[in-house]
Structure 1
């Protein structure tokens, strides 16, 4: 098997420019040499025919034009032939002023509020963004990418610090919460919805069922004896004899309260509950008592541990979602992106608002950083040495400058020919 051919490495952009520059320089030098040879030939044959005089004048003027333009072009970048002639090596010697002028030129003519605003208006970024987001594939990619970024950020967080931060912030917030006012508002809302009466009905129903069950009567009797601390045997015997009547009377009372929506017990209950709401709002003693219990509860180890675990619980649920094949976060972001794209596609007002916002933001950035653009350009150019700056500029425009030498050779020759022709005519 023949050996594989060795492929040449691709030349860099600078090397390519350097090669093209050298080619054009040799072309200009070749024309100068051709003019010199033509001059020597025409001068040696001048006596044989008048036409050689015209060629001699053309060649002589061509050499003068070529040398003059060579001097002019070289003087931009270095001293011709190394001789420090006055006002040569213009670019190296003017490096700092060039950097300042270039920075000011870019600031004044390119980085302008009006220019940036016009370019943004022409681009219509809101429409472009809307079209991109309306593509389901793009929306899905955005959701997946966002979920991936969220997963990486989650793994980079200082969870110990955040756990303590959440615990301390939650404790501070709950400690500043006016629990008395919150409880009073809740009671007012319950009263407005009739919830206390519904609760009383529930308790009465359960109480009536309990009293109707004869298996509970002995326990009710024992409760009455113990509640009144009755030790006398005669009184105990009498109470036992009236136990059934007492329970029946209590059951009738419960049924009566349950059946009568206007029963005085109900109104007294509403009054008690309403009074408690007023006390919570206006009574300093009630408020101090609630605040004490509130602070004691927050200071307990159990509540503090629960608040500290809130961050861990949130992280665990988020991590479990991000580890799944179809994270809910990714789907939510994808839906949001798709809906945003639809709005931007159908609502011209929304597109205009977004474009105006982008223009306003860009104008603010231009106003804030415009002065730094020129300083940045100047600082970057200051890092280059004089020779490096001269070489970079020569690589950028040197090939085109060689056409000045070529044109000088040709135009100079034509001018010399014209002058010789006119002198011969007169």
Structure 2
């Protein structure tokens, strides 16, 4: 390995390189030792016959070690630089390795089952809860939100198509709202605790005020006078009748005001209940309510009101975010912190959120995994194979060198066994 390549290695890589060189040297020395032992044993086996067993072991060990040296070297380069077929396997098959590696990762590491199983191990909901529950993080998020708010409002204002789209969608949703049943529900909520009796009390107060209104009484007296015969008017019967009417009316109003269970109040309850029931199911009421709704939506004043409301909202936002004690920032931060706390306390909500994360991220990985495989393949194709070969050899080469040791041991034992069999069979 050249000194240039060494300069790109870290301290750990240099340690691996030294260990690899040491293991290579020991393996080569062992191979040379087997050859020396074989030659020595062959030389003296005539004098010492038992050396034939040593020679058989050493010869087979040398052959096994040499064969495994060839196999290990053939993975990375051509042995002795000779153009032997099916050598330098890794450099020669770079493109095929790249494609197979990409497909392998796509099928095994990025499969839907594997990805979803791994994503399911992550509690995304708790991560979000912990993040939001920290006030400084929620404050940072709210600061970012209010900082981009003016730009978002400007973009919405300047985008006529978007504004028209929002307006049309809003109108479409309002058209779907059934006003009469909605009004019935609202009235039902109001009358649940007889709050409508407050309206009845107000009506009684108005009528009581009319009984003390001189102008109103004069008008009633004139009406009575026109209905009575002239002779009755001569005896001021109109004044008498008016006095009686006012007295009776005042007494009745006082009686109703003091008695919460008065028959008139009960009759008003029944009237309101009948009105709510009719409002909920009557086609006539429904038609009138829809006409009123469409008339209201078509009024130009409503459009002007929405424009003024929008300008008021924008002005408030722009003024508030520049304040050191921004109300929007404070409220948004408090809301985010509260969301984080509620999320941490609600395992069901976190489970639903986690399911959403797994589904969304799993779908994203599924749609992009072919691109990931292609990316990996292209990256491997673009690698410098000399550097890649050195990298692989550096990380697994020492283990491969032990194959040479194993080859010498297994080969030697095989050679010794064959030699022993030969002696037994042939003498």
| TM-score normalised over the length of structure 2 | 0.61
| Contact 1:175–1:295 (8 Å) recurs in 2 | no
Seen in structure 2, the aligned counterparts of structure 1 residues 366 and 160 have a Cα distance that, compared at 3 Å, is closer
Structure 1 match to 2:88: 89
In 2, the alpha carbon distance for the partners of 1:243 and 1:210 equals 18
Equivalent of 1:337, from 344, 347, 362?
344
Distance 1:162 1:207, change over 3 A: farther
Contact 2:64–2:408 (CA<8 Å) still a contact in 1? Answer: yes
Residues 1:255 and 2:258 are matched in the alignment? no
Match of 1:151 in 2: 142
Give SS of 2:134's match.
helix
Q: For residues 357 and 184 of structure 1, what CA distance do their matches in structure 2 show?
A: 37
Rate the CA distance shift 1:21–1:363 in 2: closer, same or farther, 3 A: same
CA-atom RMSD in angstroms: 5.8
2:229 — aligned with what?
Answer: none
In structure 2, distance between residues paired with 1:249 and 1:374: 100
CA distance in 1, matches of 2:191, 2:107: 71
Partner of 1:160: 153
SS at match of 1:84: coil
Q: Look up the match of 1:281.
A: 285
> CA offsets per residue over residues 91-148 of structure 1, 9 Å max, x none?
222223334444555566666667778x67xx995xx959x96xxx996555227735
For the residue of structure 2 that corresponds to 1:91, the secondary structure is helix
Q: Which residue of 2 aligns with 1:233?
A: none
Relative distance call for 1:391 and 1:320 in structure 2 (3 A) is same
Quote how far apart the aligned CAs of 1:79 are.
0.8
Q: Which secondary structure does the structure 1 equivalent of 2:299 belong to?
A: helix
What is the match of residue 298 of structure 2?
A: 295
Residue 27 of structure 1: CA displacement?
1.6
- The corresponding residue for 1:199 is 199
Show the 5 A alignment for 1:179-198: 181=180, 185=184, 189=188, 198=198
The equivalent of 1:319 in structure 2 is 329
Partner in structure 2 of residue 208 of structure 1: 208
In the TM superposition, what whole-angstrom CA distance separates every residue of 1:3-29 from its partner, at most 9, and x where no partner exists? xxxxxxx94554444333222212211
Listed one character per residue, the Cα deviations across residues 340-382 of structure 1 (whole Å, up to 9, x for unaligned) are 27x99xxxxx8xx999999988987887677667555544433
Change (3 A) 1:181 1:292: same
Matched, 1:386 2:382: no
Task: Check the 8 A contact 1:184/1:281 in 2, yes or no.
Answer: no
Q: Partners of 1:47 and 1:32 in 2: how far apart?
A: 24
Map 1:231-270 to 2 at 5 A: 251-252=246-247, 254-255=249-250, 258=253
User: Are the counterparts in 2 of residues 297 and 303 from structure 1 also a CA contact under 8 Å?
Assistant: no
In 2, Cα distance between equivalents of 1:174 and 1:104: 49
The answer to whether the 8 A contact 1:99-1:382 is kept is: yes
> Within 1, Cα distance between the matches of 2:379 and 2:355?
33
* Structure 1: stretches of 5+ with no match in the other structure: 1-9, 229-240, 345-349
CA contact (8 A) 1:298 1:304 kept: no
CA–CA distance in structure 1, aligned partners of residues 347 and 390 of structure 2:
51
Deviation at 1:299, TM superposition (A): 3.7
From the superposition, tell whether residues 255 and 62 of structure 1 become closer, same or farther in structure 2 (CA, over 3 Å).
Answer: same
Instruction: State the distance in 2 between where 1:191 and 1:45 align.
Output: 121
Aligned CA distance change for structure 1 residues 179 and 195 (closer, same or farther; 3 Å): farther
Q: Distance in 2 between matches of 1:187 and 1:332?
A: 30
- Say whether the 8 Å CA contact 1:175–1:298 is kept in structure 2: no
Distance in 1, Cα, partners of 2:356 & 2:293? 50
1:155-176 Cα shifts (integer Å, max 9, x gaps): 3454314775798579747864
In the TM superposition, what is the alpha-carbon distance from 1:406 to its structure 2 partner? 1.8
- Displacement of 1:298 in angstroms is 4.7
Tell me the TM-score normalized by structure 1: 0.61
Give the Cα–Cα distance (whole angstroms) in 2 for the partners of residues 380 and 108 of structure 1.
Answer: 18
Counterpart-to-counterpart distance in 2, 1:183 and 1:413: 95
SS in structure 1 opposite 2:84? Answer: coil
Q: CA deviation at 1:78?
A: 1.0
The 1:79–1:209 alpha-carbon spacing in structure 2 relative to 1, beyond 3 Å, is same
**Structure 2, gaps ≥5 residues long:** 1-8, 224-235, 257-261
- Note closer, same or farther for the CA distance 1:406–1:181 as it changes in structure 2 (3 Å cut): same
User: Any idea what SS the aligned residue of 2:87 has?
Assistant: coil
The aligned length equals 376
Q: In structure 1, what is the Cα distance between the partners aligned to 2:96 and 2:383?
A: 13
Displacement of 1:392 = 3.8
